[in-house]
Amino acid sequence: MSYWLFKSEPQEFGLDHLLALPGRVARWDGVRNYEARNLLRDQIQVGDPVFLYHSSCEQPGIVGLMEVVRAGYPDPTASDPESPYWDPRNLPGQPRWYAVDVRLTARLCPVLLLSHLRGDPELQEFRLLRFGNRLSILPVSPSEWTHLLAQTRLFPL
């Protein structure tokens, strides 16, 4: 099992969106970075736990816990000309982009705010905190995962 952090802008797709979906299950699609695509395609597996991180908002931070319920598969938005994630270079039988399905399992309280994370000496190597990091999908080490969970409480859904 591997641990992950997925970033999303809450106004585009966040915790409230997941809460409103049947079974709190959604396709995590629209990823258009090759490094993140490779993680979706090759490493993220069913059962892997995922932190949901709200970015580009007033108070960015880790807000929820998800689990992967379907491993990587070709992202259908890449083939849909009506989608904002359409990629004309995506060819039938040669998928360029991948998606996974996730299920929201818990809320975090308190939210682990970015400002708190930056001040935590235990998170010196946390990829989220590296200067210039823009990836929407990040691996989380087992020790980081355990440390972060110890900072909050989970409210199962």
DSSP symbols for 54-98:
E-SSSS-EEEEEEEEEEEEEE-GGGG-TTSTT--TT-BTTB---E
Supply the DSSP symbol for 154. Answer: E
Query: Which of 15-24, 34-43, 118-127, 130-139 shows the lowest per-residue confidence on average (mean pLDDT)?
Result: 130-139
Instruction: Kindly report whether the global pTM for this prediction surpasses the value 0.85.
Output: yes
How much is the pLDDT for 11? 94
How much is the pLDDT for 91? 86
Domains and CATH numbers, the chain: 3-156 (3.10.590.10)
Residue 151, CB half-sphere, CA atoms under 13 Å: how many?
20
- What would the pLDDT profile of 95-151 be if each residue is shown by its tens digit? 999 999 999 999 999 999 999 999 999 999 999 999 888 899 999 999 999 999 999
Query: How many C-beta atoms surround the C-beta of residue 90 within 10 A?
Result: 18
- What would the pLDDT profile of 61-109 be if each residue is shown by its tens digit? 999 999 999 999 999 999 999 999 999 999 888 999 999 999 999 999 9
* Residue written as token pair 């807000």: 63
For residues 91 and 103, give the distance between their C-alpha atoms in angstroms, rounded to a whole number.
29
